[in-house]
Amino acid sequence: MKNIDFNFKNRTAIVTGGAQGFGLNIAKRFLNSGAKVIIWDVDPEMLDKSNKELNSPNLISHVVDVSKYKEVEHFTKEVIKKSNIDILINNAGITGPTASLWEYDIEMWKKVVDINLMGTFNCCRAIVPNMIKNNYGRIVNVASVAGKDGNANASAYSVGKAGAIGLTKSLGKELADKNIAVNAVTPAGAKTRILDQMTKEHVQRMLSKVPRGRFLEVEEFTSLVCWLSSEENTFSTAAVFDISGGRSTY
């Protein structure tokens, strides 16, 4: 597909979980559109690979566990010593195991929710004050159709993403009188490594629910995120943008 041009010159973006999948493609598109990009990811090996692949003087990466507020707060302060934070993409997330709720490992439940929901909260809490100070910001929270529909045998993931949707609506309203837009995107299954964390049966069940009859392409997702992150998005906030190939219609 042909990429639409966006202008992110003189903008600084933080992309969590940016070392692979959606996050890596978003970081690449931002860089190609003139932005300075900071990737936060918990995997140092994947960060090294992404740094070599992106190979840009406008790229910085930090090993950050977004589920730990003190780490997020520390690296936020490091960033704003040198520049404002204009864009935040809360993309870091894990699916967790495929299991029925009554058999779900309690510690894994906490881990999935901590990363998918608390990670989003932590980044917003630390970064929003800088956006308020500068009266500019674009926040995109990567949720999932699982947060709208609920996926069987993925209750922790569904709960975490549902929470991220609720957080988006609340924060968007809190910041509605400022030039700060907060939106969520709810993709269906996409061709990323996150599918490797699921059983083949679970993946096939996901695919069977998509009227388009295929998984989402990463570039299609990135285009939507870029528009929501751009100055062109002057009105939409506290909203949920579906990109599920027709699976969800609300």
pLDDT band at residue 1 using 50, 70 and 90 as cut-offs: low
Contacts of 8 (CB under 8 A, 6+ apart): 30, 33, 34, 35, 87, 229, 230
The predicted structure's pLDDT at residue 194: 63
- Please indicate, yes or no, if residue 37 is contained in any of the structural domains: yes
pLDDT in tens, 2-20: 667 899 999 999 999 999 9
17-51 tens-digit pLDDT: 999 999 999 999 999 999 999 999 999 999 999 99
pTM of the model: 0.93
Does 132 reside within a domain? yes
The enclosing domain of 195 has a CATH number of 3.40.50.720
User: For the residues of the chain, what is the DSSP string, one character each?
Assistant: -PPPP---TT-EEEEETTTSHHHHHHHHHHHHTT-EEEEEES-HHHHHHHHHHH--TTEEEEE--TT-HHHHHHHHHHHHTT----EEEE--------B-GGG--HHHHHHHHIIIIIHHHHHHHHHHHHHHHHT-EEEEEE--THHHH--TTBHHHHHHHHHHHHHHHHHHHHTTTTTEEEEEEEE--BSSGGGGGS-HHHHHHHHHT-TTSSPBPHHHHHHHHHHHHSTT--S--SEEEEESTTS---
Q: Are 157 and 144 in contact (CB under 8 A)?
A: yes
pLDDT at 156 over 60: yes
The residues that are catalytic are: 157
* pLDDT tens-digit map of 174-207: 999 999 999 999 998 776 666 676 678 877 887 8
Q: How many domains does the chain have?
A: 1
Strands 239-243 and 87-90: unpaired
Tell me what pLDDT residue 203 has.
78
63 within a domain of the structure (yes/no): yes
What does the mean pLDDT of the chain come to? 94
Distance CA 121, CA 80 (A): 19
Is residue 74 included in any domain, yes or no?
A: yes
Residue 1, in any domain of the structure:
no
pLDDT at 69: 98
- Residue percentage of the chain with pLDDT more than 70: 95
Phi and psi, residue 35, nearest 5°: -80, 155
Return the pLDDT at 189: 75
250 in a domain, yes or no?
no
User: What is d(CA 172, CA 235) in angstroms, rounded to the nearest whole number?
Assistant: 11
Q: Is the distance from CB of 51 to CB of 73 less than 8 angstroms?
A: no
In a domain, 164, yes or no: yes
Range of weakest confidence among 65-69, 117-121, 162-166, 197-201: 197-201
Range of the domain at 219: 12-243
What mean pLDDT is predicted for residues 89-114? 97
Is 57 a domain residue? yes
85 token code pair:
């934070």
Over residues 52-73, the pLDDT tens digits come to: 999 999 999 999 999 999 999 9
